[in-house]
Amino acid sequence: MSTPLWDKGKDVDVIVQRFCAGDDVVADRQLFPFDVEATSAHVLGLARIGVLSGAEATQLTTLLTELQARFADGRFVVDERYEDGHTAIETFLVQEAGDVGKKVHTARSRNDQVLVALRLWLKEQLRAVVDVTSSAARSALERARTTGATAMPGYTHLQRAMPTTLQAFFLGHVEGFLDSRDAAQAALVVVDRNPLGTGAGFGVSLPLDREGVSAALGFADVVVSPQAAQNSRGKLELFALQALHLATLDVRRLAWDLSLFVTAEFGFARLPDRFTTGSSLMPNKRNPDVVELLRALPAVVEGALAETQAVLSLPSSYHRDLQATKAPVLRAFPRALQGLALIPALLDGVEFDAVALRAAITPDLFATDRALELVVAGLPFRDAYRQAAAEIPTLGGRDVDGSLQARVSLGGAGNAGLDRLERRLNESNSAV
């Protein structure tokens, strides 16, 4: 293992060092490109205040560009030789540039490094959540447009409740995905502030160009208070994970709907073949494995939330416990985004049986319509409710399409608001 950045010339207990490092080397592979990017911006910032010469800054940024390339194609590996990714960067620069490489950590803490790299990484992840929830909403919106007024039973408590349409079903998922997109955008506002330059939590005695470094890294603003920068560890990850969790909950609800609809007992829908698998024993089986795994998608995020929250019973400023907030978020986002990315194609490909859907609309589902007809005729609602309940055996033969078109309140089958949701989707796109 390389010499740790905090080494002061004393012997280092390898067993203790490995315990303290934990899985940081593995976790830091995801953060490494962002750590290198932030290091380059820091170097240029040091040059602007005269701590590094122009030639030194050029040498270091050229080496950092080379390091990015080597890491990308596998020629440089962040492995057990290093305590963490931060150590790997400085070790490389010192090996390649000698004493000039030793200057890179001027006015910077590893706390700085992990915070800025994590925020840059989270920005990328949250933008991916924004993109994929938008794509899912757009696919669901298109299915709502093409399915039109295809009638189906609506459910509460998994019991048939009232007639509705496939359009209304899909629009419900459109709006859910748009809400989750808004949550991811809100989390982006919190994440999009640069902590680099706050040091170990107390600022530094150099006039760092924090605004210039922030602009170079594409941040919208800076974290002003050094203590607030340190206190954001864990809390920052929770903002992002909570937004991700909402999106996976949308996926779980959709997956549950499809799980039920494709059963022989419901017989409402058929999944695309590529979203199913077979049994190793039973030749007759087409198993909805993808949908079932999508139902489990929130679990990895919920685990990460619990793990992160459990660490945050700490006083202000940095504590080494906070290292444990890194791995959960780095684990949750890739898996959840992998599942979220499947949703547009799943929505595009699922097939519905319009005949079976309409056949499942039984006479009792018109009871609420009948109660409201009686209200319009002048009967108080509670009396109308009781009369409609008594009339359920006589409600057969009612016009399904007429019932649906009579649902004229905004969002109802006769006034679905599809164009309104499309405007919201396009406005969200323009805000990204």
**Active site residues per annotation:** 157, 279
Distance, in Å, from the CA atom of 55 to the CA atom of 48, rounded to the nearest integer, reads: 12
Residues contacting 269, CB < 8 A, separation 6+: 258, 261, 262, 350, 351, 352, 353
Distance, in Å, from the CA atom of 279 to the CA atom of 288, rounded to the nearest integer, reads: 11
Distance, in Å, from the CA atom of 141 to the CA atom of 147, rounded to the nearest integer, reads: 10
Q: Do 95 and 45 form a contact (C-beta atoms < 8 A)?
A: no
Determine whether 267 is exposed, middle or buried from the number of CB atoms within 10 Å of its CB (0-12, 13-18, 19+): middle
Q: Do 117 and 38 form a contact (C-beta atoms < 8 A)?
A: yes
Q: Do 156 and 272 form a contact (C-beta atoms < 8 A)?
A: no
Write the DSSP symbol of residue 3.
P
In this structure, how many other beta carbons lie within 10 angstroms of the beta carbon of residue 65?
13
∠ CA(233), CA(17), CA(300), 5° rounding?
45
Q: Pick from 187, 186, 338: which is nearest to 251 by CA?
A: 338
Distance, in Å, from the CA atom of 180 to the CA atom of 346, rounded to the nearest integer, reads: 18
**Looking up tokens 């994929």, which residue turns up?**
132
**Looking up tokens 């170079």, which residue turns up?**
216
Write the DSSP symbol of residue 412.
S
H/E stretch holding 153: strand 151-156
- Enumerate the H helices of 262-296 as residue ranges: 289-295
**Looking up tokens 């323009």, which residue turns up?**
430
